Amino acid sequence: SQQGEEDPQALSIQEGENATMNCSYKTSINNLQWYRQNSGRGLVHLILIRSNKREKHSGRLRVTLDTSKKSSSLLITASRAADTASYFCATDGSDRGSTLGRLYFGRGTQLTVWP
């Protein structure tokens, strides 16, 4: 499968703590994205990192990318109860020209932040 795989499947932390989620994938990529899904809602794009970058920040989010290991991590600092959601990584699979335009999503990490 070309899908990314997130680790852990579930993460439970207290407010104020940092949350780290990992993603591994199998193919070459142009970029990797992270999405968030609140219960009962659609996915919402959080951040995109291109394959020639190693790190990107956006507010309380920090994404790292290691293309040699085909892995990425999403760090949420100073977590809040409102961060409770599922988080998905998605890759574009650049070496599959026939699938241009699509993304490959993982199964997601369910993050619970307790107040």
ω before 115 within 30° of 0 (cis)? no
| C-alpha to C-alpha distance for 96 and 52, rounded to whole angstroms | 19
> Restricting to residues 8-47, which ones interact with another protein according to CB under 8 A?
30-31, 33, 41-45
65/69 Cα distance (integer angstroms):
9
CB of 15 to another protein, least distance (A): 27
| Contact call for residue 59 and another protein (CB under 8 A) | no
113: tokens are 């932040």
**49 touches another protein by CB under 8 A:** no
Nearer to another protein, 17 or 41 (CB): 41
Centre a 10 Å sphere on the Cβ of residue 31 and count the other Cβ atoms it contains: 16
Residues touching another protein, count (CB under 8 A): 23
The one-character DSSP state at 63 is E
Interaction site with another protein (CB under 8 A): 30-31, 33, 41-45, 48, 88, 90, 92-93, 98-103, 105-108
